[in-house]
Chain A
Amino acid sequence: MSQRPIRVLIAKPGLDGHDRGAKIIARALRDAGMEVIYSGLRQSPEQIISAALQEDVNCIGLSILSGAHNVILPKIMDLLREKKMDDVLVVAGGIIPDQDVLSLKKHGIAEIFLPGTSTKAIIQFISDNAGSEKG
């Protein structure tokens, strides 16, 4: 029985426009055989959740470098729970100090990928942890 490839939404929440990392990861995930949708810049939590639902993704990767992660990421997680999308794996990265990582994980973000994380490690984590429908 073949498995549907893992579908990932790479999203840029908030006003931050730094997309170097997000785009590299999107490409690396595609090269690894995943289906990747890139949200574009400056997406609201609602837009991200709506895209995730529409695209029926297994994983959302949130990239945020603006320092607004403590406000915006929990909002996204709340919306996710509201829409009963608890089976979607959520990971995040960007500029996030160590002291905020624990609280973000408590909100349900599975892993925070800090600067210096290899795309290999991210691919591995998503492969291991994102569910995918059997086709």
Chain B
Amino acid sequence: MSKIPIRQPEWSKLKHRWERELLDPSNRLLPQRQEEFTSISGQPIKALYGPDDLENFDPKKDIGFPGELPYTRGIHPNMYRSRLWTMRQFSGFGTAEDTNQRFHYLLQQGQTGLSVAFDLPTLMGLDSDHPTSTGEVGKCGVAIDTLADMEILFKDINLESVSTSMTINCPAAVIWAMYLASAEKRGFTWDKLRGTLQNDILKEYIAQKEWIYPPHPSMRLVTDTIEFATRHVPQWNSVSISGYHIREAGSTALQELAFTLRNGIEYVEAAIKGGLKVDEFAPRLSFFFNAHNDFFEEIAKYRAARKVWARIMKDRFQCQDSRSCMLRFHTQTAGCSLTAQQPHNNITRTAIQALAAVLGGTQSLHTNSMDETFALPTEHAATIALRSQQILATESEVANTIDPLAGSYFVEKLTLELEEGCWTYFKKIDAMGGMIAAIEQCYPQKEIQEAAYQYQQAVECGQKIVVGVNQFVVDEENNIDTLYIKPAVGEKQLKRLGAVKARRNSPVVRQSLMDLRKAASADENLMPFLLSCVKAYATLGEVCDQLKQVFGSYQEPIF
């Protein structure tokens, strides 16, 4: 005999009775700790969630099964039961040798994927010997000037057996060309290479602010890489459409989600406009989210992300291939939540955030190190961060079952609310003419800035607590070891760059740069030209400069 579900009016009656007879007297005896409870994003949170919060909820339509539409519960039928998330620690500092050493160390310690952090000159398409690179070389990531550096970076690493993610945006196509060229030189075939290029320029204008060229030519570079990957590097994720940086810039969870997915829509539209069929490339779009402090809000965010993206791909773009509807994502725990005060507490924060990411079904995860409010991670701190993932994977038993929080009234309600919020944001941005138009009007930037300011106000008035900062504060002297990048790194890099320039075939370099410039002025796919340039050991700066002559530079709007 099937159970008859409780009807809504009956439940409301029961709830009112509970409030009247139990909750209200209890609150009079022991008042609530705060007048209002909100998520870290400012969303009001009730004392209790129940069936009345899921009035029109249809488990079949709203959550379904893992591995099929709407994908709320996960993109694979078996999720972590067959394969755990990739443990992929973001690393890079100093020279290519320094970073190669750290890569080997982390792989030995059990990480299962590589993730490259580049220094600021590289991120900005500048060579180590550019005047504005002084003091910056190797400081916040690895310095890559030419193919020679890339060859060292992956020394003794089998690129066919480990996947590589590269966090690079405005010069992503050039760095990817270096990666492909070095792989080819070592005898790896492109169809066996697995990896991800962040290559998400839209979020740069919105949040991370590493740009060279204006939006339209930058989008051309992105669609060129999408097309090239589709044709020649089929296992490569050509874009990692990112919310991490949007959140780090101070956005709410909803803004992180909505702006990221809307950026995704913009890329899909651009690739289709460029001549590709959506199912050709969409399966290889990937995403990157933040894992912030509010545990349940984050889990709901990931579930909503999968559901909304699936709807977008099915309804807005009419995808036929189910893989086009699967949102695959990497997660990084929130850097902006870490404190300089009592830094060991960051280990705890990171572990909680990592748990949220795992319960949210992430495909890949980076856990921050406790010392990152001071410098790049030491080996010791990075190891602890990796161990957090390994403990989660093996000791906590949370990976035994799929989407364990499904059916929770609270989590399902939060998931629905975030989903609804996305559609509202999409409508607004569509009405503005799309994401590039919205960026030109500074819309997402202003939304994020306002959210960042509101959060700071909440912390300063004690509404939101940060342990060690506005509660449980101690007078302390920090004695933790931090990573120090010696000036010798910069000197070494300059020497190497000089040596590469001295021994390369200058006429070949010049010709390749000229060919690139010609192609950039036309509408050919630039990847083959970039490959020729990098193979001739043209520098990153030289290549980016050529493109700058054609594309121009982006001027930051100040508001």
Contact = CB atoms under 8 A, between A and B. Distances in A.
A100 B126 CA distance: 26
Contacts of A68: 120, 135-136, 139
Given A17-B210, A19-B209, A67-B140, A119 B456 contact: yes
A45 to B, nearest CB: 10
A20 B140 contact: no
B375 A17 contact: no
Instruction: Give the interface SS of chain A, mostly helix, strand, loop or mixed.
Output: loop
B478 A66 contact: no
B105 interface: no
A14 interface: yes
A24 B453 contact: yes
Interface of A: 14-20, 23-24, 27-28, 38, 40-42, 44, 66-68, 70-72, 95-99, 114-116, 118-120
Contacts of B126: 15
Nearest to B249: A20
A120 B208 contact: no
A66 B468 CA distance: 24
Interface of B: 120-121, 123-124, 126, 132-136, 139-140, 208-210, 248-250, 336, 338-341, 373-376, 449, 452-453, 456, 459-460, 466, 468-470, 477-478, 482, 484-485, 556, 558
A40 B210 CA distance: 13
A24 B124 CA distance: 24
A98 B478 contact: yes
A117 B419 CA distance: 35
B558 A98 contact: no
Given A14-B135, A15-B120, A40-B556, A116 B468 contact: yes
Nearest to A96: B374
Contacts of A96: 374
Contacts of B136: 14-15, 66-68, 71
Given A15-B132, A68-B135, A68-B136, A118 B373 contact: no
Nearest to A67: B139
| Residue of B123, B249, B456, B478 with highest tally of chain A CB at under 10 A | B456
Contacts of B209: 17-19, 41
Given A16-B120, A116-B469, A119-B460, A70 B339 contact: no
A96 B376 CA distance: 11
A24 to B, nearest CB: 5
Give the residue among A18, A24, A28, A116 with the most B Cβ atoms within 10 A. Answer: A116
A97 B135 contact: no
A97 B469 contact: no
